[in-house]
Amino acid sequence: MITLEDITAAAKRIKGRVLHTPTVPCQTLSRATGADIVLKLDNLQAVGSFKERGAANKLALLTPRERERGVITVSAGNHAQGVARHASLLGIDAVIVMPRFTPAAKVTRTAAWGATVVLEGDNFAEATAHANMLCQREGRVFVHPYDDPEVMAGQGTFALELFEDAGPLDTFVCPIGGGGLLSGCAVAGRALQPGMDIIGVQVENFSSLSGFPGDEVMPPGGATIAEGIAVLQIGRQPLEVIRELVSSVLVVPESAIETAITMLAEGAKQVSEGAGATALAAVLTYPELFRGKRVALPITGGNIDSRILANTLLRSLLRDGRLLCLKMEIPDRPGVLADISRKIGDEGGNIIEVSHQRLFTTPSVQAAELEVMIEARDPEHARALEAELAKTYIVRRA
């Protein structure tokens, strides 16, 4: 097991190579959750993620001969960028294997650091098998994204900065993919603040520790917005640390992560990818565990595809009632659209989109169906808009 001394040494080794990122209180999220929320913003790192901490420490420890051989790794994106950047800084040739589903933004940014990117496999396991094959064939040094004590120690530097800047905490909540960040932070946390609760978080489709502290289970896998923690099995070495030092593991649904991404964007003014928002998703899903406590949440990464971010924000607006989609059966006569627009405007609604069908959607040739997307201030305002239109027309939510 790594020690606090390993993490402290890693912090000295990578100082100046990675940012000492801000730790900030967030009153907006504190009011919304009933907890005293502190955010650690590793989405502000040069590669947009905490992952370069471990990569920087690992590569700094390579011998001259190992640097000549070059390195290879497998990653869904953030570790890839960390290895690519620090390999470039040290003049080391790097090959990065990424699953084919990896968001385009992460692939592009990884290649921009000068690494050779290979897209292979439909999931992380298949990509890993291909990376191992290339490693054997080309004689490169494999830089594991999480199951490596030097990488774990590098990730633990996150906690050193957090505890230095935040002061005493009741709870630290951390996402779990392969377990590198949680294990490194757990070692630092238990040494520096032994009474603090340390809680791991997984997304439903990749909840291998859902029976924690018992044996691992094989999760179903599948699509998730938190692709950065879409790992079927925890690394062997991180798992040993997690079982010994972590208080509990929580599982969150996809919808909670989407809501957390939106709340971070609106309330904290921070762009977070899905994996980076899972700690906040846990607080939203299990509020009774955190209410009244001082809670530190890592924003572990901000590398989210722009289209996915836009769709996530819109889906969250729909869920909480600020974006209202209504279908109305209306008479097919002049002036009806103008009347509906006036009613919506008089109630303070903002029409975003309109679809008007005459031919295929209604039983009568004298009727039409109108689908209208309306922006409302809040759920109560949305209900008032719907009620006003229902006085005259047949209305249902889409």
In this prediction, residue 344 carries a pLDDT of 95
What is the length of the chain? Answer: 398
What string of DSSP letters covers 122-168?
A: SSHHHHHHHHHHHHHHHTPEE--SSSSHHHHHHHHHHHHHHHHHH-S
In this prediction, residue 365 carries a pLDDT of 58
Q: Is it true that the peptide bond before 213 is cis, omega within 30 degrees of 0?
A: yes
Strand order in the sheet with 248-252: 23-25, 36-41, 294-299, 171-175, 197-203, 248-252
CA distance 7 to 189: 11
In this prediction, residue 359 carries a pLDDT of 56
On the question of pLDDT at 41 being above 90, the answer is yes
Least confident of 16-20, 83-87, 313-317, 354-358: 354-358
CA distance 353 to 280: 32
**Cα dihedral 180→186→191→193 (10° resolution):** 140
Work out the pLDDT band at 366, boundaries 50, 70, 90: low
| 186-206 pLDDT, tens digit each | 999 999 999 999 999 999 999
User: b vs e for 297-333, b when ≥16 Cβ sit within 10 Å of the residue's Cβ?
Assistant: bbbbbbbbbeebbeebbebbbeeebbbbebbbbbeee
On the question of pLDDT at 364 being above 60, the answer is no
In this prediction, residue 5 carries a pLDDT of 98
Distinct helix (H) and strand (E) counts, the chain: 15, 14
Phi, psi (5° rounding) for residue 371?
-115, 125
Burial class (CB in 10 A: 0-12, 13-18, 19+), 229: buried
Asked if 109 contacts 83 with a C-beta cutoff of 8 angstroms, the reply is no
Domains of the chain (ranges; CATH) run: 4-50+148-315 (3.40.50.1100), 51-142 (3.40.50.1100), 321-397 (3.30.70.260)
| 122-147 pLDDT, tens digit each | 887 899 999 999 999 999 999 999 99
First to last CA, the chain: 54
Closest CA to 184 of 295, 304, 51, 277: 51
On the question of pLDDT at 293 being above 70, the answer is yes
DSSP 279: H
3-state secondary structure of 23: strand
**Average pLDDT, stretch 61-66?**
97
| 150-171 pLDDT, tens digit each | 999 999 999 999 999 999 999 9
**Cα dihedral 263→267→268→271 (10° resolution):** 50
